């Protein structure tokens, strides 16, 4: 993984060729991350995991913007954040009347029926995460790492630079905080 760190450093310094070399090294992990995120989306989603990886990757290695990653873990945390933003943007776009608004596709197979509030849940979670960031940025980042990046508690603790016990304490606090926030005027699944 020293190669990844070296290539990330080259990208930081504006090396366009380094961005091409990075993708083969991180693609499989980014694809797993995207697949985990897409598994939480309702069936019939037009955005595919591969497209999510590519969109996130383009945002991450844009040599026109100064990017700075302290480590491989920091890069994947940034990738999770990029994927979260893409999914939220997609959910917002689809909720507009121009893109179907409240029109719901009705599947013929009753086993494929998904929760009708999945898009709204993602938007409500995004809003709640923004509010949590105002209260405690580290706890909000932990939620993003766990929920959107699919990282284990030890991995997230390492990225955040805190002990496992601190991360677990933060996770308990953040879950209760989000459940309270999402419970106020929001009907939907509470498995955050």
Higher pLDDT, 182 or 157: 157
Report residue 28 as tokens.
Answer: 């499989």
DSSP conformation class of 111: G
CB atoms within 10 A of CB 88: 18
Question: Residue 137 — pLDDT band, cuts 50, 70, 90?
Answer: very high
Which structural domains are found in the chain, ordered by start?
1-102 (1.10.1740.10), 114-192 (1.10.10.10)
The answer to whether residues 136 and 129 touch, using CB atoms and an 8 Å cutoff, is: no
Give the pLDDT confidence of 81-113 residue by residue, as tens digits.
888 888 888 878 776 655 444 545 444 344 333
Give the pLDDT confidence of 158-187 residue by residue, as tens digits.
889 999 999 999 999 999 998 888 886 444
pLDDT, position 43: 60
Question: Residue 114 — pLDDT band, cuts 50, 70, 90?
Answer: very low
Q: Which pTM was predicted?
A: 0.50
How far is Cα 124 from Cα 19, in angstroms, rounded to an integer? 34
Average pLDDT, the chain: 75
Tell whether the model's pLDDT for residue 6 goes beyond 70. yes
């Amino acid at each position: 993984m020293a190669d990844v760190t070296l290539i990330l450093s080259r990208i930081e310094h504006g090396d366009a060729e380094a961005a091409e070399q990075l993708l083969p090294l991180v693609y499989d992990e980014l694809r797993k991350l995207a697949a985990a995120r897409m598994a939480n989306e309702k069936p019939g989603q037009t955005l595919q995991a591969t497209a999510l990886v590519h969109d996130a990757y383009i945002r991450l290695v844009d040599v026109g913007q100064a990017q700075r990653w302290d480590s491989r873990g920091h890069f994947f945390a940034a990738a999770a954040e990029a994927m979260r933003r893409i999914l939220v943007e997609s959910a917002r776009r689809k909720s507009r009347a121009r893109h179907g608004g409240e029109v719901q596709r009705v599947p013929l197979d009753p086993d494929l029926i998904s929760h009708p509030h999945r898009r709204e849940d993602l938007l409500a979670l995004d809003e709640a995460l923004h509010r949590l960031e105002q209260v405690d940025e580290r706890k909000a980042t932990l939620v993003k790492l766990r929920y959107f990046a699919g990282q284990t508690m030890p991995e997230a603790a390492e990225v955040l630079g805190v002990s496992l016990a601190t991360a677990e304490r933060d996770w308990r606090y953040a879950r209760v905080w989000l459940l309270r926030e999402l419970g106020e005027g929001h009907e939907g699944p509470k498995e955050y």
